[in-house]
């Protein structure tokens, strides 16, 4: 009888609730992690498909902006892979090395776009119209805006800074798709051929910023 009320209180009271709360928290975290993985795999798959589509469209139209955006998609594949490593609990040293490689790739992209866009403007070369490029960049903008919103919510819920940051990169990717789309549309509708290399310079600004942030932060 001495320990009866205490034992009864322990079985029905707050103490017994604690493992349930902890278990529920673990379940919620696993669900969020699965969502984070799904968002990154969709990003990865979309960018892999984009590399193929943009390569074909860029060669057909002789478009600097499409070529640059295709190379950006290739780099974004690497960025998504880094996040997948992070969500899997991969070591910090390997993650830093991968981030530096991605930063170096963005540096090469910036150099290529500066040289190529300047050459096109100086030579007055007119890229052809690209309906496939317009369709793909428009679709990419919509998909990336949706993925960025999902990553922002999931990263905040998980308290995962890497996923949250990569979500901002995905948002920028959507804005870049819009800038390329505008350049392609102006060229197709108004004959403003110079809008294509100008869109290439927008990508240069983004690539240079990624290089700076990567090497200053890591």
Q: What is the pLDDT of residues 181-202, one digit of tens each?
A: 988 899 889 888 888 788 878 8
Q: What is the pTM of this model?
A: 0.74
SS3 percent helix, strand, coil of the chain, rounded to 5, is 90, 0, 10
Please count the CA atoms within 13 angstroms of the CA of 193 that sit on its side-chain side: 11
Instruction: Judge whether residue 24 has pLDDT over 70.
Output: no
First to last CA, the chain: 63
Predicted confidence at residue 59, as pLDDT, reads 92
Predicted confidence at residue 136, as pLDDT, reads 96
Predicted confidence at residue 18, as pLDDT, reads 43
- C-alpha angle 173/158/147, rounded to 5°? 25
Predicted confidence at residue 91, as pLDDT, reads 62
Q: Is 193 or 161 the better-scoring residue by pLDDT?
A: 193
pLDDT tens-place string over residues 30-41: 888 899 999 999
Predicted confidence at residue 21, as pLDDT, reads 54
Q: What is the 3-state secondary structure (H, E, C) of 29-47?
A: HHHHHHHHHHHHHHHHHHH
Instruction: Round to whole Å and give the CA distance between 197 and 218.
Output: 31
What tokens were used for 208?
A: 């240079």
- Report the range of poorest mean pLDDT among 18-27, 113-122, 149-158: 18-27
Dihedral sign computed on CA atoms, order 203, 151, 74, 48: negative
Q: How far is CA 212 from the centre of its chain?
A: 17
Task: Give the mean pLDDT of 107-130.
Answer: 81
Cβ atoms of 155 and 163 within 8 Å: the answer is yes
Instruction: Judge whether residue 4 has pLDDT over 70.
Output: no
Dihedral sign computed on CA atoms, order 168, 172, 178, 184: negative
Cβ atoms of 113 and 68 within 8 Å: the answer is yes
Instruction: Judge whether residue 60 has pLDDT over 80.
Output: yes
């Amino acid at each position: 009888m001495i320990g009866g009320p205490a034992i009864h209180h322990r079985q029905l009271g707050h103490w017994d609730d604690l493992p349930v709360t902890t278990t529920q928290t673990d379940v919620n975290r696993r669900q969020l992690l699965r969502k984070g993985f799904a968002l990154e795999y969709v990003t990865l798959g979309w960018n892999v498909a984009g590399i193929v589509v943009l390569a074909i469209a860029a060669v057909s139209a002789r478009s600097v902006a499409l070529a640059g955006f295709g190379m950006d998609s290739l780099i974004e594949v690497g960025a998504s892979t880094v996040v997948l490593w992070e969500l899997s609990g991969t070591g910090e040293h390997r993650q830093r090395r991968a981030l530096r490689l991605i930063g170096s790739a963005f540096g090469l992209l910036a150099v290529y776009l500066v040289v190529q866009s300047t050459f096109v403007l100086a030579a007055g070369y007119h890229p052809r119209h690209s309906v496939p490029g317009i369709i793909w960049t428009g679709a990419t903008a919509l998909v990336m805006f949706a993925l960025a919103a999902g990553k922002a919510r999931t990263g905040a819920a998980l308290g995962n800074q890497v996923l949250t940051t990569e979500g901002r990169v995905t948002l920028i990717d959507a804005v870049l798709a819009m800038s390329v789309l505008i350049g392609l549309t102006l060229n197709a509708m108004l004959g403003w051929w110079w809008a294509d290399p100008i869109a290439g310079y927008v990508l240069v600004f983004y690539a240079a910023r990624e290089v700076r942030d990567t090497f200053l932060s890591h």
